[in-house]
Structures are given as C-alpha cells and as structure tokens.
Amino acid sequence: MTVFASSGKARTFDYQAGDVGYVPFAMGHYILNTGDEPLVFLEMSRSDRFALNQWLALTPPELVQAHLNLDDATTTAVTAYKGKPIIVK
C-alpha cells in the first residue's frame, strides 16, 4: 500500500496476510496486490461521509477510466461532481 500526501510525499508499505495498515485523515492511498493469490482487502472509516466523488471528479477522467477499468458512461457519471471549485492563483 502506498500512502500519499501533498507535495509529492509518499510512503510504501509491504503488508503480509493478517497485517493492519493505517491511512491518516485526508491522505490518499493506493493498493497493489504483489502476490500470486487473490487479495482480500477490507477498508474501514470512522467518517459518516465519504468524499470519493469529489476526489474522482477532480482527477483527469482518462486516469480514472484507466485505473478503475470503467466504460465511458460510468467514467462520465463518477467524474461529473464538481462540488468545490478549484482555485488556481
């Protein structure tokens, strides 16, 4: 699992069966199965609100589609939310 923050900061951890990992609040993470067997991954959150829709909407659609293996209609649907405007100075 790689956990990433702003400014290009990231750390990668190699977990084994039965290990528990932690992702700090507001940091992204990426899971990659590097083994030969199927991966069973359980993710839990203390939050009652999950803001993945905003994160996906602010990611280039081509990247979302390629990484999640989505068709065009699904990609359009998940990247349509633009709840908070991007401010570039």
Dihedral sign computed on CA atoms, order 12, 18, 23, 28: positive
Partner residues linked to 11 by β-bridges? 3
**Interatomic CA distance for residues 12 and 26, integer angstroms:** 17
Q: Report d(CA 25, CA 49) in Å as an integer.
A: 13
- Ramachandran class of 26: left when φ > 0, alpha when ψ lies in -120 to 50, beta otherwise: left
Among 43, 48, 71, 72, which one carries the catalytic annotation? Answer: 43
Catalytic site includes residue 43: yes
Q: Enumerate the active-site residues.
A: 43
